[in-house]
A and B are shown apart, each in its own frame.
Chain A
Amino acid sequence: MIWNNWIPLLVVLSSLLPGLVIFTLSEKQWRVRTFLNIFGAVAKLGLVGWMLWGVYHEQHFETRLALLPDLDLVLRAGPLALFFVSLSTLLWLVTTVYAIGYLEHSPHRSRFFGFFSLCVTATVGVALAGNLITFLLFYELLTLSTYPLIVHRGTEEARKAGQSYLTYTILGGALLLFGTVWLYSLVGTLEFTPRGFLSQVDAQHHPTLIIIFVLLIGGLGVKAALIPFNGWLPKAMVAPAPVSALLHAVAVVKAGAFGIIRVVYDVFGIDFAASLGVTAPLAWLAAATIIYGSLRALFQDDLKRRLAYSTISQVSYIALGVAIAGPLASIGGVVHLVHQGVMKITLFFCAGNLAETLGVHKISEMNGVGRRMPWTMAAFTIGAFGMIGAPPVAGFISKWYIGLGALEVDQGWVLLVLAGSSLLNAAYFLPILHAAWFRKPPEKWPHEHDFGRHETSLALLIPPLITASLALLAGVLAMLPFSPLEWAKLISVREFYTP
């Protein structure tokens, strides 16, 4: 199948080309813009579905273009890559619908949707990258295409947030670049390989490899919001809600976490990394981040800021699952990539709905919103319980596998971290739910908009309901084929551990 060699490229182009065309459209051409957006998203979904089927049946999809004389731009759809691609494609479609509703009357929508598409292009590229330099390329593209989205509102606060975001990510990108070039000059290849390609490196270079590992993880950790590199994330909350949703669930933060998975499994190889002794510190760092993020979240009154700190905490589950270095834990870490995405995007959609419909931004203003917007808050509740790790929402599955995996390799302390984090999650989510459902609503909401029959406009309401159902289904139907969990197991067998 010669076509298979072009499908990964088509997947990238299916959002890049609409994005570029959208830039040239005027504000008034919203029909064309919407059509392009939806068309690109649906086309991408179809292509990804096709690849999922193919990869499940052991077909190969690889696009290879020359970048440098001896380095190629490789887009390859392996199981792990597809896992992330499916997530971003699906959520892109949902978020696009949401964003169309959210920004209905705001200015500069062409610019917004253009960069939005670029952002997804970069994410998909990050996912499909078949070697470290391709990864780096799309990783930096992601940095650049997100910046205009963060400063989209054009206020001084937005500018400062953008500046802070760049300070962190550019430094992170520099570390990553440094590590990549160093690795390349040491071993002469950057191709992602199942179970890593470094285990044959001469023992005298092992200290160097440790430094390279630190550089790479440091670079990726900035986006994955590991401590102490996460100062940008709460500030970036000035962006419009769909951007925050995408940033937290799919694009930036996830790209970092995904990169950590790539580096640990496909560059170093988990066994080799463990023998270098670098996974244990990573696990500690991730654990500390989990607790730190939850602690900070506890004290935020701004809803989006609380969610931001929650992201810091939740994304580190991925790093933790990866760094525990056991097959089961790796399943937990990888599957959380999707689970966290679906749950967190739900929460952000709901936060956006509250802000857009009622003008509610703070938790202290949320009394009784459950009565005014029951569907939105129902979705929020599912997302919040998922974050806490209550079954049967998807978050439980991740925690379960991470915990089991930790016990499998005798790392009992991880259970304490999980328990502590769940407790803190409960401590900062349950009061919100309590206020929303059981307190008396105020006489008057801060800025109420009337959307007619429904509690808010349907374009805003349906996306969170879809993602909340997905979060629920991913937990309840975890054992069905093609469920996130089953796919994560497939990844673990094919790419991580020698069967």
Chain B
Amino acid sequence: MGAQLIQVDWAVVLIMLPLSAAMLGFLLPGMARNIGLLAALLILFTVVGLGWQLTQTGVYSHVAGGWLAPLGIQLHADGFSLLMLATSAIVGVAVSIYSTGYFKAADDQRFWPTWLLLWAALNALFLAADVFNLYVTLELLGLSAVTLASLTGSKDSVSAAMRYLLSTLLGSLAFLLGIGLLYHQYGSVDIAILSERVNDSTVSWAALGLITAGLALKTALFPFHFWLPPAHASAPAPVSALLSALVVKASFYILLRLWLGLFDFQQDSTVANMLGILGATAVLWGSIQALRQIRLKMLVAYSTVAQIGYLFLAFPLAQTGGNRVWYAVAYLMLSHALAKAAMFLVAGNMMLFGGHDRIVNLDRVVQRLPVTVAAFGLAGVSIMGLPPSGGFIAKWLLLEAALAQGHWGIAGIMMLGGILAAAYVFKVLGYAFIPSPVPHQAVSVPARMQWMALLLATLAIMAGFVAQPLMQLIGIGALFDSTGSMP
């Protein structure tokens, strides 16, 4: 039994399952919700299978249809892919269950197929082994994300979605140009092959610039973050959770993979430092903006801008800091995805509950929605980077690297970012305790919506206790260990 299970191509299932479910959803709108839920649970199960497979046999590679690269579709799964797949699966399941309470039956047929399509694109992206497939999945992801963002059809959301669409297209275009250059120069799109061939040349540098810029735009790195807050804030809550937790991570995932696989020719480069500076600015700017917001969803969205900044802080640190930094980044991606998804779900609950999300008028939600507020608090702990939480582990590692190398600026920015994060999280929590001058009519919030938010937040906290086994899992395939040994 075990031997047979290990033979299963879990990775293929991971792509085909949401894709076919999406098709079914299109065809049978009435059943869309049930199909989606079933698919979500199956995906979670499949990821567990893939994880088990990876721990048993190491890195997984699969050539779809028997064609080899550059023509065929090649799948590749290592520890990092697994981490991202697992993150998507967990967040995906939670958001799916949440959505059954959030969307009315009429919205179901629009939401579920698109969401499953997005999930398929995500999984394919995390499993892709060549740059062209990365592009295709990225494009697919961007389009389905835009569709989801405009789901409500309100004026705000449509204009935000248009902005989102333009920037995502622009980013894809730059990315496409970059990989075009690479293919032209080195004659391959396979990452493994390219990584052997790419050398320090003008074309490489141009590709590096294009790809990095394109992906930075899609990841909403400061100052390319302009599209993110309106898009994330005006989308329906489950969609915001998906966009913030998973979609922006996908483009960063590509950037990281290419940076490590292809662009390791550049040592001590100014590009890395520049990314670091932009990241630092993002941390500060995002946090300050978050603090200034009067609406909860905008606050959470700006918080995403800040948290993405942390991811980029790793680039200057990694030049000499070695592998630990990338582990920290992977860990941060995981814990931020969980915590931020939880936060958006909380925002959705509060919006549903009071009909608005003005922070000062939260009106004792702590007594009326205790589970929801608890979720916000726990997610906030991880976002602030306070122990015990996944966010703490990640920031501890980053901070340690920064101090060990004498990067005082980065260390200072990280501390400052944490303090600002605490300020905006507790701004919300403080108002959650007190009565509002304008009491509002409360609408009851389904229990499953509350508990899903709490589940995600709790997982973000629990991530603080399983660092060691998780890092062993991430270490499968030794993507991060090119510069050093396993920590």
Contact = CB atoms under 8 A, between A and B. Distances in A.
Interface of A: 23, 65-70, 73, 107-108, 111, 133, 136-137, 140-141, 143-144, 147-148, 151-152, 154-156, 158-159, 162-163, 166-167, 170-171, 173-174, 177-178, 181-182, 184-185
Interface string B373-385: 0100100010010
A115 to B, nearest CB: 11
A136 B464 CA distance: 13
Most buried by B among A137, A155, A181: A181
Rank and list the top 3 A-B pairs by shortest CB-CB distance, nearest first: A137-B387, A185-B404, A66-B468
B476 interface: no
Given A108-B367, A185-B400, A159 B415 contact: no
Q: Which of B364, B418, B419, B422 has the most CB of A within 10 A?
A: B422
B429 interface: yes
Contacts, number: 95
Given A66-B468, A148-B366, A170-B422, 20 more contacts: A67-B465, A67-B467, A68-B396, A69-B487, A108-B367, A111-B366, A137-B388, A140-B387, A141-B387, A143-B386, A144-B377, A154-B366, A154-B435, A162-B433, A166-B422, A166-B426, A170-B426, A174-B418, A181-B400, A185-B403
Given A185-B400, A185-B403, A158 B387 contact: no
Contacts of B399: 177-178, 181
A162 B386 contact: no
Interface string B392-408: 11001101100110000
B352 to A, nearest CB: 22
Given A154-B433, A159-B433, A111 B370 contact: yes
A295 to B, nearest CB: 31
Contacts of B392: 137
Contacts of B419: 170-171, 174
B442 to A, nearest CB: 16
Given A170-B419, A185-B403, A151 B386 contact: no
B386 A140 contact: yes
Contacts of A151: 430, 433-434
B285 to A, nearest CB: 19
Most chain A CB within a 10 A radius of its CB, from B381, B392, B433: B433
B393 A68 contact: yes
Contacts of B433: 148, 151-152, 154, 158-159, 162
Contact of B415 (A140, A152, A178): A178
A184 B387 contact: no
Contacts of A166: 422, 426
A185 B400 CA distance: 6
19 contacts: A23-B370, A66-B467, A67-B464, A67-B465, A69-B471, A154-B367, A156-B434, A159-B433, A159-B434, A162-B430, A166-B422, A170-B384, A174-B419, A177-B399, A177-B415, A178-B415, A181-B399, A181-B411, A185-B400
Given A67-B465, A178-B415, A144 B400 contact: no
